[in-house]
Amino acid sequence: MPAAFEFLLPTAAKDVPSGPDWIHEVKYDGYRLRVERDGARVRLITRGGHDWTRRFPWIAEAALKNRITRFVVDGEAVVLGVDGVSDFDALHSRKYDDEVQLYAFDCLALDGDDLRRLPLTMTRRKL
């Protein structure tokens, strides 16, 4: 597994880009999270470098159930309200830590291979 993974941060723009080279995704109101699995060990790492594996047990358990045993996935930890919309206040309250879901948007490593140099369209297929 490659040693260090940095979070790629979005860039603000005045206009919505168009054309075949752009991918648009839904912005969820949550916490950015990197899921790292190496065999039986799973870590959920925040942008600030905190290990939140125990904080979000549902995500950690789901990572352990995956048939792939070595991967790094970038995503957003989110609590959904009854209307299906992300609810940051509920997430921040910590009352729903056992219900937090991960919306994965990129696969950074898989089976020991670093995928970061591949085009996003290819790494998304790995998800």
Instruction: Count how many domains the chain has.
Output: 1
| Residue closest to 68 by CA, chosen among 31, 115, 4 | 115
Q: Residues 4-13: pLDDT tens digits?
A: 777 777 777 7
What domain range is 56 assigned to? Answer: 31-126
**23 C-beta neighbours (distance < 10 Å), count:** 10
Does 64 fall in a domain?
yes
Does 19 fall in a domain?
no
Does 98 fall in a domain?
yes
3-state secondary structure of 16: coil
Catalytically active residues are 27
Q: What is the mean pLDDT of the chain?
A: 89
Q: What pLDDT does residue 4 have?
A: 77
pTM: 0.85
Does 22 fall in a domain?
no
Q: Residues 51-109: pLDDT tens digits?
A: 999 999 999 999 999 999 999 999 999 999 999 999 999 999 999 998 999 999 889 99
Amino acid letter, 20: P
Q: Which regions of 1-127 does DSSP assign to beta strands (E)?
A: 31-38, 41-46, 70-78, 101-110, 113-114
Q: What pLDDT does residue 17 have?
A: 82
Does 80 fall in a domain?
yes
Does 17 fall in a domain?
no
Q: Cα separations (Å) of 48 from 26, 32, 51, 61, 96?
A: 22, 9, 9, 22, 21
Does 1 fall in a domain?
no
Q: What CATH number does residue 97 fall under?
A: 3.30.470.30
Please identify which residue in the block is written with the tokens 């942008």. 47
Q: Cα separations (Å) of 61 from 19, 44, 83, 100, 113?
A: 38, 11, 25, 12, 23
Q: Residues 36-45: pLDDT tens digits?
A: 999 999 999 9
Between 119 and 34, the higher pLDDT residue: 34
Q: Residues 94-122: pLDDT tens digits?
A: 999 989 999 998 899 999 899 988 888 88
* Average of per-residue pLDDT across 16-34: 85
